[in-house]
Structure 1
């Protein structure tokens, strides 16, 4: 179905090829997981499948890519649209209509699908992805996760033979991610659709994959069974890291397989306890940096936040969790003061951020939104970093140091819009972290970040917490929560339904428990690092 024959791609002014000498064949009905660190060429590999590379991106393509017998050098993307469907990293940038139902039908209209068939496929896709209740909603009013499901549905309605997905679960809550991946797997097994998925959260996808295409960063691609390839990769999900630590061979990829082997490891850990966190040790005694009372947000008749009370304490990292559309982003914007507020009060440093000039509000409460590129407006990375240093009153180079910790080797002369999604997010995080406000709100801050970058991000956030910053991280990444959070707040339908120490909230939850907690249950372990420390 897909064949790469000695393929290389070199972009204009690049010092080296993004990918080089790639030869592989992907057969009909295979699900291939594409993995690697940020900036190693995953998106380039995917874009070569439907001809976006080089027809849209530019650069030089060597070798040959054929899809269903069509050579991408002579067939531009429009001539492959009936065969290849692509879902990019940012769904909102790919939408061309106004409402969910219109977006699902648009691709079929361009392919001249009969109206009766279009209606049937739209209904099937709405049910398949669990978005029937959104059919008339304007796309811009949806949460990030809801937008991502619509983008996937818009591709599936055209019934392509190949589906290419770039970070398809990055904005989805755990349950929604499982539902979407199960639906995609069903299409692979039942209809023989070929699927390529680039994903940083390997723990979500690895056990579904037939093959793993791993990009180590030198332009090459390692191809093989997921368990065999992951045995030697620099990036690996927690289940693989735990397997390496325990010496399991072959490495398990599913929680079920790992639990079957985990008995001896649980015996070794009996009587030992994980290290305490701020949420376990009286963080409520620390200074309250932000206090919200009866906070409510409405959009017309829709209640996004319904009378929330919340205290944020100095030195504590709070994870804000909940399914897509539960009100997390609306709550963060209301706390920061830039978002709408139906009623309620917020106090940060003796003042309400919503009643202050925007610059003063940002100095008290910083916010990194789900679409971080909205905060970038200058021509180069270096210019953004220099502006961040000036506005924060920080020493020159402070922002660049933070950026290098998050994503090393980002070119300073590159335009921010030309960066990968992960590099762009790292730049926005560095810009906001440079200001180091006493309260910092982060909305899905690790979308597009690989495991190494998330580890570095965790270190930076922990350093800020130790300096007294109160931090909220709204996220669907349960592994990040396990490694970072002192306290977890869970929202549903605009209300807080759970609030407590991380271990108390996530260990007993089938939805929010990290892989290590599921494997070693009922023992309260959250991360591989905690297990390794206990075994030393």
Structure 2
């Protein structure tokens, strides 16, 4: 159905091809996963299937790409639209109507389908993706995850033979992601739809793939094979595979179920060592401002305890907060306190109110009731130029922060705005994601690269309160690990971090506390290990595999096993 024959793509002005030597085939009715580090050209490969590369993006394509027998060099995207449906990383860039129902119908209208067919397919898609309650909602009022589901639905309704999906679950909560992937699996198995998908959150999708195509570092040939074959050698792998490598399991497990069947001996080893190693991190109770994480007692004479320091003033304090957005009660009765050095993860389904809460903390949203203080300021009453050094927000859509023509100009502007030494922002960017060229326009970066640039811009001011909205969208595991290291360093220095995320592995790795939000209300607030292990939806893979023991990450398991080794 899809065939790449020695394909290379070089964009205008680039010295080297973005991808080269791409050679693989996708059979009809297969789901193929495209994997690899950030910035290796996965979006370029996907764009070549729909004809967007090079007809829309420009540049030169060498080799040959055929879809259902049509050569994409001689068939423009509109001539492939009846065969290929594409969902990019940014749903807003693809919307052409104003409401959910109209967007689902638009593609079918373009193909001239009969009204009764369109009506039936719209209803089917609303039910499939859990969008029936949103049918009349303006697209601009939806959360990022809801917009992602609408974007997927808009390409499903014309019933294309090929679906091309770029990070389809990146903005979805775990339950919504499972629903979307179940729909895709149904299309593949029952209708013979061919799916080519790029996704960094391999823990969500690897078990659904028939084949994996790994794009390694630039200049190296791609590797294709079954998921188990590729994961055995891949530099990017989900926690279940990483745990299997650590435990020496062969063949490597790809699902939590497979891993649990082999985990009894590992649980036994860990039970013996748990008392000798650092347990999963837990935060102080949230009712009062938690003590700084550097320890409850000062160092002194052995055996002597000195009094704990007085709790620091909270960096963020929310009391009885309510927010209305038009007819929607987005938040109600929210109480939240965040202390210096504390990392809090806001979690919950799409549309629960997480982004609205971040917006209130940074002054983008005014309370309809209650109060908000951020770094000593009332954010919605503070001038932005005064607030920027107190609170920094990295939004879901990085283009909201990026306005310069080059990466270098963006970094220089960030240094000036923050009063930082020249080169500060550029150094942060290089530390998070090496290899981004100074002369690149921000719009030409991948979604993960743009998010990383926006993060570097905000971090340049080193605000006491840092807010992150889905900070790992588009990031591979290595980039995510660098982000975790950076954020831990900031927390150790006393910066408070609040992040809204659907990435359960990030929350397990980084958060002291997890706050679950549903329908605009806090339904759980406590230590990360307690909250995430109590929720089937928000538990990380390691916690599911090793339950009832409370291990959250492969790093914790590795540390525990090393602690028991003879020195």
TM-score (norm 1): 0.98
> SS of the counterpart of 2:389?
helix
> SS of the counterpart of 1:404?
helix
Equivalent residue, structure 2, for 1:159: 159
Q: Tell whether 2:485 aligns with 1:459.
A: yes
Distance in 2 between the 1:409 and 1:249 partners?
Answer: 35
Q: Can you list the C-alpha shifts for 1:201-224, whole angstroms capped at 9, x where unaligned?
A: 000000010000100022532110
Equivalent residue, structure 2, for 1:242: 243
What is the correspondence of 1:241-260 to structure 2 with a 5 Å cutoff?
A: 241-260=242-261
Q: Tell whether 2:413 aligns with 1:412.
A: no
Equivalent residue, structure 1, for 2:143: 143
Aligned mate of 1:284, from 266, 290, 294: 290
Aligned mate of 1:275, from 272, 275, 279: 279
Deviation at 1:417, TM superposition (A): 1.0
Deviation at 1:432, TM superposition (A): 0.4
Aligned mate of 2:363, from 313, 337, 341: 337
> SS of the counterpart of 1:234?
coil
Equivalent residue, structure 2, for 1:173: 173
Contact 2:407-2:441 at 8 Å conserved across structures: yes
Distance in 1 between the 2:477 and 2:26 partners?
Answer: 26
Distance in 1 between the 2:97 and 2:290 partners?
Answer: 47
Q: Can you list the C-alpha shifts for 1:255-304, whole angstroms capped at 9, x where unaligned?
A: 00010011111111013334353615997134211111111110122100
Contact 2:315-2:376 at 8 Å conserved across structures: no
Distance in 1 between the 2:526 and 2:376 partners?
Answer: 26
> SS of the counterpart of 1:468?
coil
Deviates more, 1:279-288 or 1:447-456: 279-288
Q: Can you list the C-alpha shifts for 1:431-473, whole angstroms capped at 9, x where unaligned?
A: 0011111111111111111111110000111111011111101
Q: Tell whether 2:504 aligns with 1:478.
A: yes
Aligned mate of 1:320, from 337, 343, 346: 346
Distance in 2 between the 1:485 and 1:269 partners?
Answer: 22
Deviation at 1:364, TM superposition (A): 1.6
Contact 2:167-2:199 at 8 Å conserved across structures: yes
Distance in 2 between the 1:262 and 1:47 partners?
Answer: 41
Deviates more, 1:9-18 or 1:31-40: 9-18
Deviates more, 1:362-371 or 1:171-180: 362-371
Distance in 2 between the 1:260 and 1:310 partners?
Answer: 40
Equivalent residue, structure 1, for 2:113: 113
Equivalent residue, structure 2, for 1:387: 413
Contact 2:280-2:552 at 8 Å conserved across structures: no
> SS of the counterpart of 2:54?
helix
Distance in 2 between the 1:122 and 1:340 partners?
Answer: 36
Q: Can you list the C-alpha shifts for 1:142-199, whole angstroms capped at 9, x where unaligned?
A: 0000000000000000100000000000000000000000011000000000001100
Distance in 1 between the 2:22 and 2:378 partners?
Answer: 56
What is the correspondence of 1:523-534 to structure 2 with a 5 Å cutoff?
A: 523-534=549-560
What is the correspondence of 1:77-92 to structure 2 with a 5 Å cutoff?
A: 77-92=77-92
Deviation at 1:341, TM superposition (A): 1.9
Deviation at 1:57, TM superposition (A): 1.0
Equivalent residue, structure 2, for 1:493: 519
What is the correspondence of 1:326-365 to structure 2 with a 5 Å cutoff?
A: 326-365=352-391
Deviates more, 1:112-121 or 1:386-395: 386-395
Distance in 2 between the 1:167 and 1:160 partners?
Answer: 19
Contact 2:361-2:374 at 8 Å conserved across structures: no
Q: Tell whether 2:400 aligns with 1:374.
A: yes
Structure 2, unmatched stretches of 5+, are 292-310, 563-567
Contact 1:31-1:208 at 8 Å conserved across structures: yes
Contact 2:360-2:379 at 8 Å conserved across structures: no
Equivalent residue, structure 1, for 2:101: 101
Deviation at 1:343, TM superposition (A): 1.4
> SS of the counterpart of 1:403?
helix
What RMSD in Å do the two structures reach over aligned CA positions?
Answer: 1.2
> SS of the counterpart of 2:315?
strand
Q: Tell whether 2:322 aligns with 1:300.
A: no
Distance in 2 between the 1:351 and 1:259 partners?
Answer: 49
Q: Can you list the C-alpha shifts for 1:226-276, whole angstroms capped at 9, x where unaligned?
A: 111111111111011000001111111010001001111111101333435
Equivalent residue, structure 1, for 2:55: 55
Distance in 2 between the 1:39 and 1:14 partners?
Answer: 14
Deviation at 1:200, TM superposition (A): 0.3
Q: Tell whether 2:544 aligns with 1:518.
A: yes
TM-score (norm 2): 0.93
Contact 2:394-2:454 at 8 Å conserved across structures: yes
> SS of the counterpart of 2:517?
strand
Contact 2:65-2:72 at 8 Å conserved across structures: yes
